[in-house]
Amino acid sequence: VISEREPGRIIAQDAELGFQRSQALVMIQVFTQQGRTTSTKQNLFDALATRLGALGIEGNGIFVGIVENTAADWSFGFGRAQYVEGDLSIPARQ
């Protein structure tokens, strides 16, 4: 789900990291099932910055936050809870 904001509608600080924020900001919220390792998350962050960099978005404009829930918290269609009802297996994680 992609949303754009007019200038001034995103107020972004550097979180005491000592750099200037770009005005070309991309904030990504990943809403997903729990279970990924820290290493997998680090790989995601790195891949997102690499791919956004190729589109001209600099590293000082990229935020990512992950929010996690459980298998019972998802319905992907038809009113079913696919993980709970066996339509989908819960992914093995590494």
**60: three-class secondary structure by DSSP:** helix
Q: Which string of x and - marks every residue 16-35 that binds its own copies (by CB under 8 A)?
A: xx-x-------x-x-x----
Residue-wise over 46-61: b if at least 16 C-beta within 10 A, else e?
eebbeebeeeebeeeb
Residue 76 near residue 32, CB atoms below 8 Å = no
Residues numbered 68-87 forming contacts with its own copies, rule: CB under 8 A: 68-69, 72-82, 84-85, 87
Min dist CB 24 to its own copies, Å, is 12
Chosen residue from 54, 67, 86, 94 binding its own copies by CB under 8 A? 67
The CA-CA-CA angle for residues 45, 46, 49, to 5°, reads 85
Question: Site residues (CB under 8 A) for its own copies?
Answer: 1-3, 5, 9-11, 14-17, 19, 27, 29, 31, 38, 41-42, 45-50, 59-69, 72-82, 84-85, 87-88
